[in-house]
């Protein structure tokens, strides 16, 4: 079955370190997205990519970086410049065209220790 | 900011009761989607309603859309404890989600 896979499920990082979260999809979706969710809060858009080799900043891009070298993959790097990185990170993808919904991964919980 | 805003923020009901949550949006849309998020999990797409549709059903879910009021409602009938989750709406390709409605169904 097609889907979107995020790994790892849990990630611990020391302050000052960069860490990369993986997101892979085999749905042949063109668009991919990264969101951050804090406890009891909604989703905030970090970065998105509508096509390979192109991506755009979302609402809270500072301290994060992404790449989109392959259609299937959209990794997110949380850099040491992100002052409060502890959060739940969700990746999503979407088929191009009208009237399609988003498919989400199961998330990565990042904790800074 | 996001297009869709859910209301109420939180809802607590007894098992077997119906749960209704609402979504308001700001500009014209082609479609509106509802999602469920169980604690610590990703969002799951529940239903999509197109702008030319007024009502749509899927199992115990009933979604209505009123484009004149720029609002949608999600009704969950005969709720179960397993329906406890947060529910979000989104429109078209907005990419953004509101804070959601946190539904608690007590056994």
pLDDT of residue B1: 66
* Per-residue model confidence (pLDDT) at position A49: 97
| The predicted structure's pLDDT at residue A1 | 63
Instruction: Using alpha carbons, select from A36, A48, A23 the residue that is nearest to residue A110.
Output: A36
Residue B62, C-beta contacts closer than 8 angstroms, at least 6 positions apart: B55, B56, B74, B75, B77
User: Considering chain A, what is the average pLDDT of its residues?
Assistant: 95
Q: Residue B24: which pLDDT band, with cuts at 50, 70 and 90?
A: very high
Enumerate the β-bridge partners of residue B40.
none
Of B33, B95, B102, the CB nearest to A101: B33
Mean pLDDT of chain B: 95
- Provide the CA B53 distance to its chain's centre, in angstroms: 16
CB neighbourhood size of A52 (10 A): 15
Task: Pick A100 or A34 by higher pLDDT.
Answer: A34
Asked if the C-beta of A103 comes within 8 angstroms of chain B's C-beta atoms, the answer is: yes
Sign of the Cα torsion A54, A27, A34, A48 reads: positive
Residue B20 is encoded by which pair of tokens? 């209704």
Q: Please say if the pLDDT value at position A54 is more than 70.
A: yes
**Nearest-5° angle of CA A36, CA A42, CA A47?**
35
Residue A2 above 80 pLDDT? Answer: no
Chains A and B form CB pairs within 8 A to the count of 56
Query: Residue B104 — pLDDT band, cuts 50, 70, 90?
Result: very high
What are the distances in angstroms from CA A76 to CA A24, A32, A46, A47, A109?
11, 11, 9, 9, 13
| Chain B contact present for A47, CB below 8 A | no
Structure token pair of residue B57: 């059903």
Average pLDDT over residues B19-44: 95
Model confidence at A98, pLDDT cuts 50, 70, 90, reads confident
pLDDT tens readout for residues A17-51: 999 999 999 999 999 999 999 988 899 999 999 99
- Asked if the model's pLDDT at residue B2 lies above 80, the reply is no
Q: What is the mean pLDDT of residues A60-78?
A: 98
Please tell me which of the candidates B41, B43, B96 has its beta carbon nearest to residue A45: B96
pLDDT digits (tens, 9 = 90+) for B55-96: 999 999 999 999 999 999 999 999 999 999 999 999 987 888
Residue A45 has its nearest CB partner, among B35, B45, B95, at: B95
Q: Longest Cα pair distance anywhere in chain A, in angstroms?
A: 43
């Amino acid at each position: 079955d097609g889907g979107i896979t995020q790994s790892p499920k849990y990630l611990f990082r020391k302050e000052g370190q960069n860490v990369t979260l993986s997101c892979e999809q085999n749905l042949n979706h063109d668009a991919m997205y990264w969101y951050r969710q804090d406890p009891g809060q909604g989703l905030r858009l970090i970065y998105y990519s509508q096509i390979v080799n192109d991506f755009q900043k979302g609402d809270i891009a500072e301290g994060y970086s992404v790449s989109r070298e392959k259609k299937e993959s959209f990794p997110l790097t949380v850099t040491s410049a992100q002052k409060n990185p502890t959060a739940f990170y969700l990746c999503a993808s979407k088929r191009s065209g009208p009237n399609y919904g988003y498919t989400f991964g199961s998330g990565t919980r990042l904790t800074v220790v | 900011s996001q297009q869709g805003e859910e209301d109420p923020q939180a809802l607590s009901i007894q098992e077997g009761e119906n749960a209704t949550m609402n979504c308001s949006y700001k500009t014209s849309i082609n479609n509106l989607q509802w999602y469920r998020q169980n604690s610590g999990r990703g969002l799951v797409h529940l239903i999509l309603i197109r702008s030319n549709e007024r009502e749509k059903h899927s199992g115990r879910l009933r979604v209505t859309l009123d484009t004149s009021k720029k609002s949608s409602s999600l009704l969950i009938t005969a709720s179960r404890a397993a329906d406890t989750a947060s529910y979000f709406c989104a429109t078209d390709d907005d990419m953004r989600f509101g804070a959601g409605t946190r539904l608690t169904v007590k056994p």
